[in-house]
A and B are shown apart, each in its own frame.
Chain A
C-alpha cells in the first residue's frame, strides 16, 4: 500500500512540488537562520574559547561579558599567581582604539594585548608572518578581514605602517580569526605596546588568564581565586556561557532570529498543511473507495504518513542542501560578515528531525477528513 501511496502522491506533480518547495523553503529558513544565530553567538565567545592555553579567566566582579571588561591594576596578576593551585597567570588586555592609515583615514580597531613573554591567547592561525615577529619593536598583527576592510585595494602582505592611538605600529603578520561580536578589525600586539596604543596608564590589565595545576580542576581553582582575591574567576566554559547569556538577554538577537525561525516554521506548516489538506480533499473519493474496498483507517494513516515522510525528507534534502551551499560559498571567504559562519551538526540533524515532525503533524491534522470520511460516499454521484 505504501507504493500506492507514493504513486498517488507523485501523480499530482504540481502539489508534490508545492509540498517539496514549501518544506525546502522552511528548512532553508530554519537551518540557515539557526546556523547564523549559532555562529553569531559563538563569535561573542570566540576569543575566550580560542585561548585554550589558559583555562581560567579572572576579572573584576562588575564584568558580565567579554567586551565589557573593567581594567584592573597590574597587581591583580600577582594576586592571582599567589593563589594555591594556580600553575601560572598572565595579563590580557583589550580596548577599542583609533587607527590612522598612511593616507590619513581613521578607523576604530579592537586592540588585544597578549602577554609579552608567554604570548598566551595569541591568534592560532597566521596567514602571513610568525608569532615571534611580535617581539620586534612596534609590531602588530591584523586579522585578514580587518586588513581587507581598512585597505581594500592593498595586497594582503605585511609591512604597512600605521598609527594606533598616536603610537606607531608596523603590521608584521596577518591572522585568520573569526568575526568578533563588535565586528571591528582585530589588532594583536604585545600587551606593553597595546596599553600604549590605548593610552592606558593606570589599569593595564583587562583579564588575568590563569592555568590550574594538573592535580586540581579549573573550577576548584577558580572558586579559590574568587574567595582569596575577591575578583571574579570563571573557567573558560563558564565565562563563555555567561557571555552568551548576556548577549541573549540584552542584545535582542535571540528575538530577531527567533522570529525569523518561527516564520519559517509557520510558513512551512501553513504551506504543507494547506497543500496536504487540498490534496486530501481532492482525493477524498479515492480514499473513500479504498476504505470501501476494505483498507483500514490505520493503513490509510500509514499511507499518508509515508507520503508525509517522503516529501519531508525530499524537501529537507533540498533545503539543507541550499543552506549548506550558502555556507560553503560564504564561510571560507576572508572578508564579509558571513566569514567563518558554519552549520553545526546539531543544527543540520536537528532541523531535519524538526522538519519531519512538523510535516507529519501538519499532514495528520489536515487528513482528519480522510479518516472520518464515510466510505459510503462512493455510492453518491
Chain B
C-alpha cells in the first residue's frame, strides 16, 4: 500500500526540498526535490542506502542544516523561514533527538543527562532532575538513574537518550539509527519503547534506520534513493516485503 502525502496541517511536511554542497569536483546535489510527510501521531521511518540523503533531510527538518530550497514545515512552524537564533529556540522547544552514538554528557548521571533539555529551557535543577527521574522510572531505568554513562550498557544508554529526547515533551522526535549500536534484543526493546512513548496524536516521530528488522514498528516507511523519495509504504507492508 502506498501512503499519500496530502495532509499539510500537521506533522512534518517537506515540499521540493533541494540542497547541494560545493566539492572540488563541482556542486554535489544531495537532495534533488524531496517531498516528505511524517504525519502527527505516527512513527515514520526514513530508509535507504548510505549517501541517499536521509541524514541530510532530518538535519534540514531539525533546523541543523540551512541553505536548502523548498518548504519545510514542522507542525505550525515554517522551519525554512526561521533565523539561526529562532532555529535554536525552535529545536529547544519542539525537537527531541536520539542519536546513534547516544552523545550523553560523560560527567552527568543518567537522570542529569535526561534533564538537560529542561535545564536548558530554564527549569530549576531539582525540578528538572525530578522529572527526568520519573521518566527514567517509566523506561525501567529507575535503579540506574544515578549512574554515569560509562557505567551503563549500550541499551541502557540509549534509554537515557530516549528520556532526554522526550523529557521536555517535544512535538517532533528525530532518531538517527537508534538501534545501530545495539544487539537485536536491545534494539527491539528500544523500538518498543519508542513506539510506546513517542507516538502520540500531537507528536510526530521520524526514525532514520538501516535496520529492516524494525520496519514492523513503523506506521510509514519512506524509501529514499539518490536524493529523492522513491517509495512510501506502511510499516507492515515494508516488513513483509523484507521477509520475502
Q: Is chain B found bound to chain A in the same assembly?
A: yes
The distance in angstroms between the C-alpha atoms of A280 and B119, with both chains bound, is 21
B28 interface residue (CB < 8 Å to A) = no
Tell me the A262-302 residues at the B interface (CB within 8 Å): 283, 285-286, 288-296, 299
Min C-beta distance of A234 to chain B, whole Å: 62
The answer to whether B99 and A289 touch across the interface, beta carbons within 8 angstroms, is yes
- The total of chain A residues at the interface (CB under 8 A) is 29
B88 interface residue (CB < 8 Å to A) = yes
The distance in angstroms between the C-alpha atoms of A118 and B99, with both chains bound, is 88
From B85, B97, B120, give the contact of A295 (CB < 8 A). Answer: B120
Min C-beta distance of A375 to chain B, whole Å: 5
A3 interface residue (CB < 8 Å to B) = yes
Which residues on B sit within 8 Å (CB–CB) of A295? 88, 92, 120
A10 interface residue (CB < 8 Å to B) = yes
From A7, A11, A289, A381, give the contact of B177 (CB < 8 A). Answer: A381
A365 interface residue (CB < 8 Å to B) = no
Chain A, residues 2-21, CB within 8 Å of chain B (1/0): the string is 01100111111000000000
The distance in angstroms between the C-alpha atoms of A10 and B108, with both chains bound, is 10
Say whether, besides A8-B107, A293-B91, A376-B59, A1 and B64 are in contact (CB < 8 Å): no
Q: Residue of B at shortest CB range from A380?
A: B55
Which residues on A sit within 8 Å (CB–CB) of B112? 4, 7
The answer to whether A293 and B117 touch across the interface, beta carbons within 8 angstroms, is yes
- The total of chain B residues at the interface (CB under 8 A) is 34
The answer to whether A285 and B125 touch across the interface, beta carbons within 8 angstroms, is no
A378 interface residue (CB < 8 Å to B) = yes
From A10, A283, A289, A293, give the contact of B92 (CB < 8 A). Answer: A293
The distance in angstroms between the C-alpha atoms of A286 and B180, with both chains bound, is 19
Which residues on A sit within 8 Å (CB–CB) of B148? 11
A-B residue pairs in contact (CB < 8 Å), sample of 26: A1-B119, A8-B105, A8-B108, A11-B106, A11-B107, A285-B101, A285-B103, A288-B103, A289-B97, A289-B99, A290-B116, A291-B88, A292-B97, A293-B116, A294-B91, A295-B88, A295-B92, A374-B64, A376-B65, A378-B101, A378-B103, A379-B55, A379-B58, A379-B99, A379-B100, A381-B180
